[in-house]
Amino acid sequence: MGSWPKSHRAAFAPPSLSLGLALCTPVASPPLSSPVDSSAVAAAAEAPPCSLYWVGGEWIGDPHAGADFFSSKSVPNIGVSSGNYSVQLVYMRCPWFSIGTGYDLSVTTFSPDGRVFQVEYATKAVDNSGTVVGIKCKDGIVLGVEKLVTSKMMLEGSNRRIHSVHWHSGLAVAGLAADGRQIVSRAKSEAASYEKVYGEPISVKELADRVASYVHLCTLYWWLRPFGCGVILGGYDRDGPQLYMIEPSGVSYKYFGAALGKGRQAAKTEIEKLKLSELTCREGIVEVAKIIYGVHDEAKDKAFELELSWICDESNRQHQKVPADLLEQAKVAAQAALEEMDAD
DSSP letters along 46-87, please?
A: TPPTT-EEEETTEEEE-TTTT-EEPPGGGS---EEEETTEEE
Give 307's Cβ-side CA count (13 Å radius).
Answer: 26
Find the catalytic residue in 101, 108, 109, 131. Answer: 131
Sign for the CA dihedral angle at 177, 178, 183, 184 comes to positive
Torsions phi, psi for 171 (to 5 deg): -125, 140
Rounded (10°) CA dihedral 99, 103, 109, 111: -40
Question: Residues 144-167, buried b or exposed e (16+ Cβ, 10 A)?
Answer: bbbbbbeeeeeeeeeebbbbbbbb
Strand ranges, E, within the chain: 18-24, 52-55, 58-61, 68-69, 79-82, 85-93, 132-137, 140-148, 162-166, 169-175, 229-237, 240-246, 252-254, 257-260, 304-312, 320-321
Q: How many CB atoms sit inside 10 A of residue 9's CB?
A: 11
With 0-12 / 13-18 / 19 or more C-beta atoms within 10 angstroms meaning exposed / middle / buried, residue 27 is exposed
Report strand pairing: 252-254 vs 240-246: antiparallel
Beta bridge partners of 79: 88
Other CB atoms within a 10 A radius of the CB of residue 253 amount to 12
Q: Rounded CA gap, 26 and 85, in Å?
A: 7
Assess whether 131 carries a catalytic annotation: yes
Q: Which residues carry out catalysis? A: 131
